[in-house]
Amino acid sequence: MEKVLVFDVWSEYAYFRKFFTTTSPLTFSLPPRTALCGLMGAILGFPKESYLEKFPRNDASFAVRLMNPVKKVRFSENLIDTESVQTMNIIKQHTRIKFEFLKDARFRIYFSHTDPDIYVAAREMIANHKCVYTPCLGISEHIANFGYIGEFPLKKIEMPHEISLESVIPKDQIQKIQFESGKEYMTETLPNEMEKDRTVTEYQQFMFERNGKPILATVNHHYEVGNNDRILFM
């Protein structure tokens, strides 16, 4: 990788369902890599049935930085069974379930791809604020906006060292954490890759600071972005 696209995406609410929840759906604190593949697929217009094939980990690289603090709220929603009736106006029964959502979600996304056609198409669409399908953060009710930050050179630094990282950090790449006062450290296990039938083939644990502050850690390698951000890909 030599260049990386950087853009912000945000929405008033976001929902990335935790895979282990049942009757009280909870949300992850940040978008999993699988959700970012869906976001990029919507912008580029890849069909829902095949967009995952365009973004395997060997070809597509995503990194995420929290731009707003993680803030969660809960609302009750009425769920209806749309398969049991033919017209919406005669639905009488519903189930009320309390959902957890992210509030004022805003993330900085770093994207690169080995396929120059996909990479250039993504750059042109995002830079011109265009999309084929409506982007959302998690589910269709949470329509997202996005803004282009720029295209920057990318340099990999491979020697083990202590560095302050702006992006979320894969926990298996951390050798040591320098815990600092005034920071809130969190970890979550996210789905990181899945097949086109939605079968998850990899989970990954990530560490981040709840308010989006950098984390000082010793890692085997990191990437330096031309805008002076230091990141690790998911």
Predicted confidence band at 201 (pLDDT cuts at 50, 70, 90)? confident
* Residue 1, pLDDT score: 59
Euclidean distance between CA atoms 110 and 165, whole angstroms: 13
Please determine, for residue 219, whether its predicted confidence score (pLDDT) is greater than 80. Answer: yes
**Residues 186, 194: contact at Cβ < 8 Å?**
no
**% of the chain with per-residue pLDDT over 70:** 93
pLDDT surpassing 80 at residue 74:
yes
Banded model confidence at residue 227, pLDDT cuts 50, 70, 90: confident
Q: Specify the DSSP element, H or E, that contains 35.
A: helix 33-44
- Strand 200-209 to 72-79 pairing: unpaired
Under 8 Å between Cβ of 129 and 181: no
Per-chain mean pLDDT for the chain: 90
**pLDDT at 75 exceeding the cut of 90:** no
Q: Is the pLDDT of residue 84 over 70?
A: no
Is pLDDT of 192 > 70?
yes
pLDDT digits over 108-142, tens only?
A: 999 999 999 999 999 999 999 999 999 999 988 89
Main-chain dihedrals φ then ψ at residue 213, nearest 5 degrees: -75, 155
Label residue 80 by pLDDT band (50, 70, 90).
confident
Give CA–CA dist 154/75, Å, rounded.
Answer: 41
Task: Tell me the pTM.
Answer: 0.91
Q: Say whether pLDDT at 21 is over 70.
A: no
Mean pLDDT computed over 70-76? 89
Distance between CA atoms of 169 and 65, rounded to whole angstroms? 10
Query: DSSP assignment of 55-104, as one string?
Result: --TTTEEEEEEESS---EEEEEEEE--TTS-SSGGG----EEEEEEEEEE
The pLDDT assigned to 48 comes to 84
H helix or E strand, kind and range, residue 196: none
Average the pLDDT over 216-224 and give the result. Answer: 94
Statement: residue 211 has pLDDT above 90:
yes
Q: Which of 152, 185, 206 is nearest to 70 (CA)?
A: 185
Structure tokens at 15: 């929902």
Round to whole Å and give the CA distance between 126 and 216: 31
- Give 3-state DSSP helix, strand, coil % of the chain, rounded to 5: 15, 45, 40
Contacts of 99 (CB under 8 A, 6+ apart): 15, 25, 27, 74, 75, 76, 77
Q: What is the pLDDT of residue 204?
A: 93
Check residue 50 and give its pLDDT. Answer: 83
